[in-house]
């Protein structure tokens, strides 16, 4: 029962880590890579490839992309949760998955870089759409 809850928590933190926890290394690795590179690399490259001229079309594209991104995360969480019912878990795999989650979260923070988004998209206004600043309440 604990491993099922653990897989659910891992899936919420980093999609794909629950699959690795369940022993599905290829699927988990692909999910983690997609999660890690989706907004910082794939989306700016798509924006550059499509070459939007109108800012409204860019915002609509980002909105649609985010819907697909959230759907992917939900599928990854459910898949990892369901897979936990069928798998025996060891302490070694548990520790590896914890280290993986820490590394992916750290890497995703590093990839939220204005220069990277600009270099890949060719536009200097995309970063603020992808990562809007958080307003602090006084």
CA dihedral 35, 37, 43, 44 (to 10 degrees): 160
21 touches 81 (CB < 8 A): no
Task: Look at residue 73 in the predicted model and tell me its pLDDT.
Answer: 93
pLDDT average, residue stretch 81-101: 84
Q: Is residue 2 over pLDDT 80?
A: no
Distance CA 7, CA 27 (A): 15
Whole-number percent of the chain with pLDDT over 70: 99
Residue 4, pLDDT score: 85
pLDDT score of 55 more than 90 = no
Q: How far apart are CA 100 and CA 51, in angstroms?
A: 35
Structure pTM? Answer: 0.82
| pLDDT for residue 60 | 93
Supply the pLDDT for residue 32.
92
Contact by Cβ (8 Å): 61, 50: yes
11 Cα distance to chain centroid: 10
Average pLDDT taken over every residue of the chain: 88
What are the residue boundaries of the structural domains of the chain, listed by start? Answer: 2-117
DSSP 7-40: HHHHHHHSTTHHHHHTT-HHHHHHHHHHHHHIII
């Amino acid at each position: 029962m604990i491993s099922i809850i653990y897989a659910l928590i891992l899936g919420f933190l980093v999609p794909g880590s629950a699959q690795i926890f369940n022993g599905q290394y290829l699927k988990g690795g692909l999910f983690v890579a997609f999660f890690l590179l989706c907004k910082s690399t794939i989306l700016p490259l798509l924006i550059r490839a499509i070459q939007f001229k109108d800012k409204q079309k860019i915002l609509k594209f980002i909105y649609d992309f985010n819907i697909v991104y959230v759907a992917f995360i939900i599928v990854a969480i459910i898949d990892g949760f369901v897979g936990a019912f069928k798998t025996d878990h060891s302490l070694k795999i548990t520790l590896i998955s914890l280290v993986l989650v820490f590394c992916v979260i750290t890497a995703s923070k590093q990839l939220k870089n204005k220069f990277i988004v600009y270099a890949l998209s060719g536009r200097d206004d995309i970063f603020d759409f992808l990562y809007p600043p958080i307003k602090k309440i006084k």
